Amino acid sequence: MLRIATSIHISAPIGRVWSVLMDFAAYPNWNPFIRSLSGSPTPGGRLNVTIQPAGGKVMSFSPRVIVCEQEKEFRWKGSVIVPGIFDGEHYFRLASADGASTTFAHGEDFSGLLVPLVMRGAMRSGTEGGFVAMNQALKARAEARDT
């Protein structure tokens, strides 16, 4: 298994950060990594996700939501070809730092036979760079929103 984990401190209440994160329709306006996201955020629901890692090609996939706990965690899992070949469990976790700010954790656990071949070099650094870019854009959007 390979884990890519990032986090950022956001000077906005957890409710505001959650609202920005779950406003899928607005992603093309602000999100440099997840270029589009649609579907049902309920556990068991399918999503349609289009990502573009930093310096990489656009990729689309349809993962299944496994957790959607308001103002705490949103997580999905997807597979390439068939489960066990290249799987990714993507997560967003939020924690209130002091009632007025939020710690946002964003990462993915990759597993499967192809992970050692695929997730190295430019693909790994581009994916991590995409997570960091999204975190920074989420921070800017959440901190700029009207109260």
> What is the Cα–Cα distance from 24 to 116, expressed in whole angstroms?
31
**pLDDT greater than 60 at residue 86:** yes
pLDDT, one tens digit per residue, over 38-67 is 999 999 999 999 998 877 789 899 999 999
Domain residues for the domain of 64 are 2-144
pLDDT, one tens digit per residue, over 1-43 is 899 999 999 999 999 999 999 999 999 999 999 999 999 999 9
Give the total number of structural domains in the chain: 1
How confident is the model at residue 133, as a pLDDT? 97
How confident is the model at residue 132, as a pLDDT? 96
What DSSP letter does each residue of 52-88 carry, written as one string?
--TTS--EEE--EEEEEETTTEEEEEEEESSTTTEEE
Q: What is the CATH number of the domain that holds 48?
A: 3.30.530.20
What residues form DSSP beta bridges with 59?
Answer: 51
> What is the Cα–Cα distance from 102 to 140, expressed in whole angstroms?
13
